[in-house]
Amino acid sequence: MKVLSLIEVHNAGMPVRIVFVPGIPGSDMREKKAYCERNLDWIRKLLTHEPRGSGSSYGALVTNPPDGRAHYGALFFDPTGWHDMCGHASMGLACYLVRSGLLPAADRTEVIQDTPAGLVRLVVDREGRVSMVNVPSFVLGDIRTRTTKFGGLTVHLAFGGNLYGLVDLDELGVDWSPELLPELFELSKELWSGVSEEAKRVAAYELYGFRFSKRISRSPPRYYGILVFGNQGRPLLDRSPSGTGSSAHLAYLHHLGEAGVREDVEFVSAIGTVFVGRVVGETVLEGRRAIVPEVSTVTRACYVTGYSTAILEPDDPLGEGFPPLPY
């Protein structure tokens, strides 16, 4: 029998299932991620596949950090695989570790997290609000593709810890509403087919999803940021405004001259929750202009929803489960 104890939390409406697995081998977090993909994928499946998980299940695995500057290492997973970075999970995890007493608390507690994408620095205040200085984020270019309903579309590639394709809802000629989601899911599948290979060639990263955005107001700067992530066969909706998606979006807005240094920009999710992004610095990464993005919550980042135990009985015919159904 396989047994896993986990903590269930959410940040801005998007769940995180936290599991502690110390001692994963690897000289850096990328090696630890590769080890998990080869040897511990049953953990991912058990916690995100049905019947124990769902299409909105997301996980953070906490382990020892190879980088001595970090308090812990974090690996992220969802029904489609293991990933280099996740902002909503990082902020929720840091908040939980401080508020639970696993890390010592102060008025402003600095938390350093080691990830496959690099070191991420977070600050948790007494009320549980979290600001996250993410890895450098940048724009990679545009890809033009054709779609069945909307004709030719421009997808803007931007990296914020994961690689996203940014699509302006104004170019689609539609306004955001929850009723639009089925259409955006179908469009995402078509865009994955049309741009993923070109994106891999241009960016040398796997395309993780699409961010559909629309400016709500210019002053203060406020945008919808509807993020569909996962893969072509299994698109998933981020209930939060997305930390890495907001970082990529912020890099693109800065590239356009629409987000200045130290200027707050609000990003609104599909369910109306909000993250605040700001450019806290400019840098150069491998010859490419990049920003240092900070993404913050406006309320407490971590709300505990439960403590649970996942069990796999040896004779369960469904084993580790099956990928969540798309309905």
What's the whole-model pTM score? 0.95
Residues 282-316 pLDDT 10s = 999 888 999 999 999 999 999 999 999 999 999 99
Residues 147-164 pLDDT 10s = 999 999 999 999 999 999
pLDDT for the residue 92: 98
Instruction: Give the Cα separation of 152 and 172 in Å (integer).
Output: 10
**Domain-wise residue ranges, the chain:** 2-129+303-312, 138-297
Which residues make beta-bridge pairs with 78?
81
> Which CATH class name applies to 138-297?
alpha beta
User: Which residues contact residue 229 at a Cβ distance below 8 angstroms, ignoring those fewer than 6 apart?
Assistant: 78, 162, 208, 209, 210, 235, 236, 238, 242, 245
Same fold yes or no, 2-129+303-312 and 138-297: yes
Give the percent of the chain with pLDDT over 70: 99
Residues 226-270 pLDDT 10s = 999 988 888 999 999 999 999 999 999 999 999 999 999 999 999
- Would you list the DSSP string of 197-235? HHHHHHHSS-EEEEEEEEEEETTTTEEEEEEEEEETTEE
- Expressed in percent and rounded to 5, the helix, strand and coil fractions of the chain are 25, 45, 35
Return the CATH number of 2-129+303-312, one of 3.60.15.10, 3.10.310.10, 3.10.560.10, 1.10.10.10: 3.10.310.10
